[in-house]
Amino acid sequence: MLTFMSSLKISSPLQAESCQWFVYLLRCADQSLYCGITIQLEKRLKQHNGHLAGGAKYTKARQPCFLVYFEVLQNRSEALKVSVRPKTPCPLNSRLQLNIPRHQIL
């Protein structure tokens, strides 16, 4: 399932079912991208933006961060495989390797 988001405001709860994992892509204030995995996406977004304790050191210095993409996967192993794709050295890697059309990246 591929989903694109334009802001942090989410209309429905983004809680994975018992064994599902989220891979997500954030657009940081400096226009960089951050990719991560979690089983509680809504909570993790709040952590990245400083509303809850936790979050990554990378995003703490680049707030606010906005959710631009997420995908639901069946297990942690699959989520880790997908999350590595944007981190591989390749020009425009987040768009090309995730197959996101350029006009849909915010």
* Span 75-100, pLDDT tens digits: 999 888 888 766 655 444 444 455 55
Determine the pLDDT at residue 98: 52
Q: Is the pLDDT of residue 26 over 80?
A: yes
Question: Could you give the percent of the chain with pLDDT greater than 70?
Answer: 62
- In this structure, what are the phi and psi dihedrals at residue 69, rounded to the nearest 5 degrees? -160, 145
Does the model's pTM come out above 0.75? Answer: no
Does the 2-104 domain belong in CATH 2.60.40?
no
Residue 56, judged by CB atoms within 10 A of its CB (0-12, 13-18, 19+), counts as: middle
Of residues 102, 79, 94, the one with CA closest to residue 33: 94
pLDDT digits (tens, 9 = 90+) for 27-36: 999 988 899 9
* 3-class SS of residue 72: strand
Q: Where are the domains of the chain?
A: 2-104
CB atoms within 10 A of CB 22: 23
